[in-house]
Amino acid sequence: MRKLHIAIATNKIDESIEDYSIRLGVRPCSSIAGEYALWRTESLNLSVRQDASCAPGTLRHLGWEESSAEAFTQDVDINGIVWEKFAAQHQADEINEIWPEADYKPG
């Protein structure tokens, strides 16, 4: 299965979690207080992150969550946008490496 991944920067993580939970009709499957949230729906993988290196409301990167991905990869498209490709477990490993207290396991 292939899902589009969208990663957005924010400076209002709590408000973003509420807003996107309403828009997507589901709460995040993983969240780190004051820093990060991830939603995985049938068609979309969306993350928001408090990220001082990006302007609030801007795209951090795009990508594909693909169950067949053998490794986490990334490249840059012609417009300078970073595209990642990963399986759900690769994303879980990254979340747990950055925030060990998350203990996130994809469903």
pLDDT digits (tens, 9 = 90+) for 2-50: 999 999 999 999 999 999 999 999 999 999 999 999 999 999 999 999 9
CATH number for the domain including 92?
A: 3.10.180.10
66 inside domain:
yes
Q: Output the pLDDT for position 1.
A: 81
94 inside domain:
yes
Q: Output the pLDDT for position 107.
A: 82
pLDDT digits (tens, 9 = 90+) for 66-93: 999 999 999 999 999 999 999 999 999 9
Dihedral angle of Cα 15, 18, 20, 26, to the nearest 10 degrees: 160
DSSP 102: G
Tell me which residue range forms the domain holding 93: 2-102
Structural domains in the chain (count): 1
107 inside domain:
no
The whole-model pTM stands at 0.92
